[in-house]
Structure 1
Amino acid sequence: KEYTIEQAASEAAWEDAKAKSDYSIFKPHLKKMIDFNKEFIGYWGYRNSKYDTLLDFYEPGITVEKLDKTFGELKGAIVSLLDRIQKSGVKPDCGMFHKKFTKGRQESFSKYVMAKMGFDFDEGRVDESVHPFTINFDNRDVRITTHYYENEFRSALFSCIHEGGHAIYEQDIPDSLKGTMLACGASMGLHESQSRFYENIIGRSRAFWTYFYPEVKRRFPEFKDVMLDEFYKGINAVSPSLVRTEADELTYSLHIIIRYEIEKKIFDDEVDVDELPSVWNKKYKEYMGIEPENDAEGILQDMHWSGGSFGYFPSYALGNLYGAQFLRKMEKDIPDLYKEIERGNLDIVHQWLKENIHKYGSVYKPAELLKKATGEELTAKYFIDYLNKKYSEIYNL
Structure 2
Amino acid sequence: MSGTSTDGSRRVAISGIGIVAPGGVGTKQFWDLLTNGRTATRSISMFDASQFRSRVAAECDFDPVANGLSRREIRMWDRTTQFAVVAAAEAVADSGVLDVLVPERTGVITGTACGMTQSLDSEYAIVSDEGSAWQVDQAHASPYLYDYFLPSSMAAEIAWRTGAEGPVGIVSTGCTSGIDVITHAAELIAEGSADVVIAGASDAAISPITVACFDAIKATTPRNDTPESAARPFDRTRNGFALGEGAAIFVLESVDHARRRGAHVYAEIAGHAARANAYSMTGLRLDGRELAAAITAAMRDARVGPADLDYINAHGSGTKQNDLHETAAYKASLGHVAYQKPISTIKSMIGHSLGAICSLEVAACALAIEHSVIPPTANLHERDPQCDLDYVPLVAREQQVRVALNVASGFGGFQSAVVLTKPGAVAR
- If each structure's strand is expressed as a fraction of its own residues, which one has the higher value? 2
* Structure number having the greater helix percentage: 1
TM-score normalised to the size of structure 2?
0.22
TM-score by length of 1: 0.23
